[in-house]
C-alpha cells in the first residue's frame, strides 16, 4: 500500500518536472534563433571591420599603433625633382613644383638618413637626369658611395637624357640603373606619353643596356601595366634584355597627382582591374626576373622623400607630407611616413642590391 503511494507521488513529481522542462525548452527554442542572429551580426560587424582595414582610405587602430613603432629607413626613395621631359598619363609624382634643394642641403639630408640606418638610396623624379644635365645626380651618387659608403645606390630614369660620358664619370659609384619601359611597341609608348620627337624609346633601352654592361652597372626595367599595354606579351623582349629585376607595377591612382581637380594628370583612362593585372602576370609567369607589385603592395611599402626631403604618406590615397628631415630630423619625420615595413619585406623590398654582391657576368 505504502509502496503504491510512493510510486504515485514520484510519478506526479516527474510529470510536473517534465511540464516545467517542456516550458523551459519552449522558451529556449524561441530564444536560440535570436541568439544565433545576435552572434551572426556580431561576427558580420567584425568581418566588416577586418575588410575595412584593407581599404587604403581608412585608418585602422593598427595603423595608429604602427605610427608609434620605430622605423629604420633601410631603403629610401628620394624624388629630388618633379620636373620631367616626358608626359606619362598615369604619372603619380608630377611637376607641381620646380624646386630642387641646393646640393649641400641634399647631402646633409642624406647623411642624416645614413646615420638613421639607411643602406640603400634610390634617386628618382620626375626625371633625375634633367637637373644640370645629370651632374647634380652624379654628385649625389658619388657622395653616397664614396663618402657615406652606402651598400646600394640606384637610379630610376626614363633613359632619354643619359649620355655615355655620365657612365664614364659616375658609373663606378652606381649599383643599379632602372629604366622605365612600359611597352616594346613604340606607338604604345607614344600613347602613354613616353614619346619625344624622333627618339625611339625601345632603341634607346637597348643602348643603355649595353652601357650598363660596359661600365658594370646592374640593369633593371620598370613597367607600369595600364589600359594600353595590359594585353601585350613582353616575354621574349625582357628575356633578351636580361635585367636583374623586372618590376611590374599596377597603374596606381594618387589623389592630387593623377586624379582630382588639382591634379596635373588624369590617370583614370589608364586604370586596369586587379583581374586584368593578374592576367598579365600569369602570361609572364615564366620570366625569372619578374617582380610584381599590385596597388595593395605598392601604396604603403615605400619610404618616399619629396623634393623638400619630406616623407610622403600615401595611406589615404593621396600624398600627405611630413615635416622635412632637415628641420626635425629623420626619427621625428618618419613617424608620419605611413610606411608599412611588413609589406615592404613581403613584396621583396630587401634583396641583393649591391653590385659587389650580385656577382654578375659582365
What gap in Å lies between CA 93 and CA 223, rounded to an integer? 16
283-315 core/surface letters (b: 16 or more CB in 10 A; e: else): ebeebeebbbbbbebbbbbbbbbbbbbbbbbbb
Residue 152 parent element (H or E): strand 152-157
What gap in Å lies between CA 170 and CA 165, rounded to an integer? 9
CA-CA-CA-CA torsion for 143, 179, 242, 227, nearest 10 degrees? 150
Q: Which of 88, 144, 181, 314 is catalytic?
A: 88
Which three cell numbers, joined as nine digits, stand for 93?
A: 609624382
How many CB atoms within 10 Å of residue 197? 6
Q: Which of 84, 144, 181, 212 is catalytic?
A: 84
Catalytic status, residue 84 = yes
| Strand partners for 180 | 222
155-176 core/surface letters (b: 16 or more CB in 10 A; e: else): bbbbbbbbeeebbebbbebbbb
Angle at 214 between CA 241 and CA 122, to 5 degrees: 70
Catalytic status, residue 314 = no
Runs of H (alpha helix) within 196-259:
201-214, 235-241
Q: What residues are annotated to the active site?
A: 84, 88, 91
Amino acid at each position: 500500500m505504502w509502496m503504491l503511494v510512493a510510486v504515485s507521488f514520484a510519478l506526479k513529481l516527474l510529470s510536473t518536472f517534465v511540464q516545467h522542462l517542456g516550458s523551459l525548452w519552449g522558451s529556449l527554442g524561441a530564444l536560440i534563433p535570436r541568439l544565433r542572429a545576435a552572434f551572426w551580426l556580431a561576427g558580420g560587424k567584425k568581418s566588416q571591420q577586418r575588410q575595412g582595414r584593407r581599404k587604403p582610405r581608412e585608418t585602422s587602430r593598427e595603423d595608429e599603433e604602427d605610427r608609434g613603432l620605430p622605423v629604420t629607413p633601410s631603403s629610401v626613395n628620394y624624388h629630388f625633382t618633379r620636373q620631367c621631359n616626358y608626359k606619362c598619363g598615369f604619372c603619380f609624382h608630377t611637376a607641381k613644383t620646380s624646386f630642387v634643394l641646393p646640393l649641400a642641403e641634399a647631402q646633409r639630408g642624406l647623411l642624416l638618413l645614413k646615420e638613421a640606418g639607411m643602406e640603400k638610396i634610390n634617386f628618382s623624379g620626375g626625371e633625375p637626369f634633367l637637373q644640370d644635365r645629370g651632374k647634380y645626380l652624379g654628385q649625389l651618387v658619388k657622395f653616397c658611395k664614396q663618402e657615406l659608403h652606402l651598400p646600394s645606390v640606384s637610379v630610376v630614369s626614363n633613359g632619354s637624357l643619359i649620355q655615355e660620358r655620365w657612365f664614364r664619370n659616375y658609373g663606378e659609384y652606381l649599383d643599379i640603373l632602372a629604366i622605365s619601359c612600359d611597352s616594346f611597341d613604340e606607338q604604345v609608348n607614344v600613347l602613354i606619353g613616353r614619346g619625344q620627337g624622333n627618339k625611339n624609346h625601345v632603341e634607346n633601352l637597348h643602348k643603355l643596356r649595353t652601357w650598363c654592361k660596359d661600365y658594370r652597372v646592374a640593369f633593371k626595367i620598370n613597367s607600369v601595366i595600364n589600359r594600353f599595354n595590359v594585353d601585350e606579351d613582353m616575354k621574349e623582349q625582357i628575356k633578351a634584355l636580361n635585367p636583374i629585376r623586372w618590376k611590374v607595377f599596377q597603374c596606381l591612382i594618387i589623389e592630387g597627382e593623377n586624379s582630382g581637380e588639382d591634379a596635373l594628370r588624369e590617370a583614370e583612362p589608364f586604370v586596369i582591374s586587379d583581374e586584368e593585372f593578374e592576367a598579365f602576370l600569369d602570361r609572364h609567369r615564366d620570366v625569372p626576373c619578374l617582380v610584381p607589385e599590385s596597388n595593395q603592395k605598392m601604396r604603403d611599402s615605400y619610404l618616399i622623400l619629396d623634393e623638400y626631403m619630406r616623407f610622403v604618406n600615401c595611406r589615404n590615397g593621396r600624398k600627405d607630407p611630413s615635416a622635412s628631415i632637415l628641420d626635425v630630423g629623420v626619427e621625428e619625420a618618419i613617424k608620419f611616413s605611413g610606411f608599412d615595413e611588413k609589406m615592404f619585406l613581403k613584396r621583396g623590398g630587401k634583396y641583393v642590391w649591391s653590385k659587389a654582391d650580385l656577382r654578375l657576368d659582365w
